[in-house]
């Protein structure tokens, strides 16, 4: 059985990594999520890392934390379906409705789509 933990090595934590992925990476969106993807450097581990950003406009702290938990859980359970070697940044679309099935279905598809749209340096 594959290791499905969401350890520190699977997280984007530095602000400049978020900024780089959002500026230089490929982008894909559906009615619920916006996903940015950027290939990691050659010397880095070949793991895919996830960063989640939830704007305050999304709702109060309870709602924002629920978004984060569901996005992380979707990523954690579907790591096998997501290509390795990328930084993935996910945020909900403005006025999106929080639905587990939409996140679960859309995240891997949007990641692959965003990877295909990565801009050349």
Q: What are the pLDDT digits (tens) for 51-88?
A: 999 999 999 999 999 999 999 999 999 988 888 889 99
pLDDT at 9 over 90: no
Question: Against a cut of 0.85, is the pTM above it?
Answer: yes
Mean pLDDT check: name the lowest of 9-13, 19-23, 31-35. 9-13
Topology (CATH) of 8-116? Ribosomal Protein S5; domain 2 (3.30.230)
Mean pLDDT check: name the lowest of 28-32, 37-41, 69-73, 103-107. 37-41
Q: Per-residue DSSP letters for the chain?
A: -------GGGB---HHHHHHHHHHSEEEE-SSEEEEEEEPPTTS-S--EEEE---GGG-SHHHHHHHHHHHHHHHHHTGGGS-SSEEEEEEEPTT----HHHHHHHHHHHHHHHHHTPPP-
Mean pLDDT of 83-106: 93
């Amino acid at each position: 059985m594959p290791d499905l933990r969401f350890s520190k090595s699977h997280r984007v934590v530095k602000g400049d990594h978020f900024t780089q992925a959002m500026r230089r990476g490929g982008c894909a969106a559906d009615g619920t999520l916006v996903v940015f993807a950027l290939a990691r450097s050659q010397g880095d581990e070949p793991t895919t890392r996830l960063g989640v950003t939830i704007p305050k406009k999304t709702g109060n702290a309870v709602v924002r934390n629920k978004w984060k938990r569901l996005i992380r859980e979707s990523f954690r359970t579907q790591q096998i379906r997501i290509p390795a070697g990328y930084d993935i940044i996910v945020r909900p679309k403005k006025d999106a409705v929080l639905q587990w099935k939409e996140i679960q279905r859309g995240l891997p598809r949007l990641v692959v789509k965003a990877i295909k749209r990565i801009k050349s340096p």
